[in-house]
Amino acid sequence: MAGTGLLALRTLPGPSWVRGSGPSVLNRLRDAAVVQPGFLSTAEEETLSRELEPAIHGFRETEKSRWSEASRAILQRVQAAAFGPGQTLLSSVHVLDLEARGYIKPHVDSIKFCGATIAGLSLLSPSVMRLVHTQEPGEWLELLLEPGSLYILRGSARYDFSHEILRDEESFFGERRIPRGRRISVICRSLPDGMGPGESGQPPAAC
């Protein structure tokens, strides 16, 4: 029945790959912390993994500016999905290789070198990204990042909340255990407003 469906929609806390400390933070960050599961097709996941696995073998992270044509097409899809027409992207893309025991501590990306939007593709292993408000630690959000998903952090989610990738022992999405394996992420960032690619203050390799 239509009525029942609407009620169910209204009472659901959010999509099943985002959970949070309460409805207020979920509502406020609805457009600021976004996950698109299945953004990559299986073939696209394979394209990127094939290109990146050997390229970053033995390294934990790298900046990559030369990509195969197939991967460039994928990155263009990320750009179209996550960034506005007025946003310039950092010229190189950040690729991070986290081993199964690896994790990323809470941090806010440098506001000096990174603009308002961060978009990341996850490959190989699922993981949980936790966002915690820097002033109100009781306000948090967790994003379930399946392989092939795209996450977007912008505005308040990017500036007012730290983000981290949980270590295997803490890798739960609610009650659900999300076992961590090796994870490769591909992260695109916008330049700070007013900083064109050729302007002074050349951004460092990574933010």
**Least gap, CB of 158 to Fe ion (angstroms):** 9
**Least gap, CB of 73 to Fe ion (angstroms):** 25
Nearest to 156 by CA among 184, 104, 118: 118
Question: Residue 96 touches which of ligand AKG, Fe ion, none (CB < 5 to 8 A by kind)?
Answer: ligand AKG
Which amino acid is located at 105 in the chain? K
For residue 4, CA distances in Å to 9, 10, 27 come to 9, 10, 22
Cα Rg of the chain (Å, integer):
17
Kindly indicate which of the ranges 70-78, 81-89, 92-100, 109-117 contains the residues binding Fe ion, using the contact rule CB under 5 A: 109-117
Q: Which of residues 107-126 bind ligand AKG (CB under 6 A)?
A: 109, 120
CB 75 within 8 A of CB 92: no
109: contact with Fe ion by CB under 5 A:
yes
Please select the residue that binds ligand AKG; options are 32, 165, 188, 191, rule is CB under 6 A: 165
- Rounded to the nearest angstrom, the gap between the alpha carbon of residue 42 and the centroid of all alpha carbons in its chain is 19
Q: Which residues bind Fe ion (CB under 5 A)?
A: 109
